Amino acid sequence: MKKVKLVFFPSMGIGHLVSTVEFAKHLLIRDARFSITVLTMTAPFANTRAYTESVAASVAGIQFIYLPQVNLPAGPETQSPVAFLSLFIENHKPYVKHTILENISSESKSDSLQLAGLVVDLFTTTMIDIANELGIPAYLYFTSGAAMLGLMLHLQTLHAENATDLKDYMGELVIPSFLNSVPPLVLPQGLLDKKGSGYPWYLYHARRFKETKGIIVNTFSELEPHAVNSFSDPAIYSVGPVLDLQGGPTHSQSDRAGHDKIMKWLDKQPPSSVIFLCFGSYGAFGSAQVKEIAMGLERSGYRFLWSLRRPSSAGFNSPSDYKNLDEVLPEGFLERTAGKGLVCGWTPQVAVLAHHAIGGFVSHSGWNSVLESIWFGVPIAVWPLYAEQKLNAFELVKELGLAVEITEGGDMVVVAEEVERGVRSVMDGDNEVRKRVKEMGEKSRKAVMEGGSSFASLGRLIEDLMERI
């Protein structure tokens, strides 16, 4: 049987990597002809080796190649995260080309293995140049939703039509992948200031999207019907939800101990009685915001599970756990809520969302978390923090009716009253949001089953990949 090799080159964030690997698993399960190589960057702020070694040991057909570590970019042009990340990735270009030529193309010289394409993601589009040089198709695996993809594909038009910075734009924007007009301030921060170091990189990546043979999107047509149907070229394959239902990597022995403690506590709670607060890999709060959250939770009266992380003091490093919760929480909070709340550090998000005790989710609205919450039928109170999360939140609340909103005050702190209101809105009774999320959860499961929309879309992608060999 002829084998087909695909090379993936994801960005460094664990959300990008895990989603990419899960999609690779989907391909392997669907068609045994595929063989996958994932090129992985080495960086001091993104240690993924334990995760990749675990996958490589347990999944036949996926290999990881770690590229040599490159110098971190420096200077004023790297002030924004998007600029820093894009320049860091650019520095890997010679190593990516060498690896494909030496480690992968040599394998493909046999009649039994054919190199079918290079799959990049949102921030690794510079590697499309290498695909072109080597004469292989380039595809994009987009880890966010179709509405956000639509913004990226419309970005050049927005740039040309607006001479001023979008942060100063007085009206709302018309973006084809959205039914409603979009307030500029919900766009990613780097798009609001044309003079910022991240802005030209967004334009660059958006332009490169259109050079690919196709874009694979982690969504399903029942979730974002308008957005999915708003595209014409290049070809779009909606293959989601692509989820790691095993819960992804744990970080240490203490994480595993924490997992057991959390699950035992949840086992003692009534069904749908607990509000779960978790803010992603980089979501963390300082003491002022922590106190407001604590007061809001206490006032709401609901049982809660709160994943609380301390902000990193160094650049792109991940948050850490607070060593002494009493120092950051209001005095007496832990004692007063001991019977109905649990404050912890790292949390096994998938296992928690799957638990019958969870009745609502306060989330940063990262796309992976959104899809997980929908899969398990858990309604969301959105609290976006960074990247495209404000746009995701806008879509969930205004476009899809699948979430309620928690809004920050004028001083960038969400006050206790707003936390309380958000918790009550998502937890109180059988509200419409809860019903819609339950229904969408059922649709998400059907989408990836045989006969489902994403199952069919994945089949179409496989056919197109094979036709180009």
Q: How far apart are CA 387 and CA 373, in angstroms?
A: 19
pLDDT attached to residue 451: 98
pLDDT attached to residue 370: 98
pLDDT attached to residue 251: 52
3: β partners: 113
pLDDT attached to residue 329: 96
H helix runs in 35-137, sequence order: 49-58, 81-90, 93-99, 128-134
Identify the H or E element spanning 464.
helix 453-467
Q: Which parts of the chain sit beneath pLDDT 70?
A: 1, 45-46, 105-111, 247-255, 313-317, 409-411
Q: How far apart are CA 150 and CA 350, in angstroms?
A: 28
pLDDT attached to residue 310: 86
Q: Which fold has domain 253-444?
A: Rossmann fold (3.40.50)
Identify the H or E element spanning 117.
strand 113-120
* CB 166 within 8 Å of CB 50: no
3-state secondary structure 316-333: CCCCEECCCHHHCCCCCH
pLDDT attached to residue 375: 99
Tens of pLDDT along 129-174?
A: 999 999 999 999 999 999 999 999 999 999 999 989 999 998 999 9
* CB 297 within 8 Å of CB 418: no
> At the fourth CATH level, which superfamily is domain 3-240+448-467?
Glycogen Phosphorylase B; (3.40.50.2000)
18 Cβ contact partners less than 8 Å away, ≥ 6 residues apart = 51, 244, 248, 249, 368
pLDDT attached to residue 233: 84
Closest Cα partner for 87 from 212, 198, 207, 194? 198
pLDDT attached to residue 106: 63
pLDDT attached to residue 315: 61
* CB 413 within 8 Å of CB 292: yes
Name the segment(s) of the chain with CATH classification 3.40.50.2000: 3-240+448-467, 253-444
468 Cβ contact partners less than 8 Å away, ≥ 6 residues apart = 116, 117, 137, 213
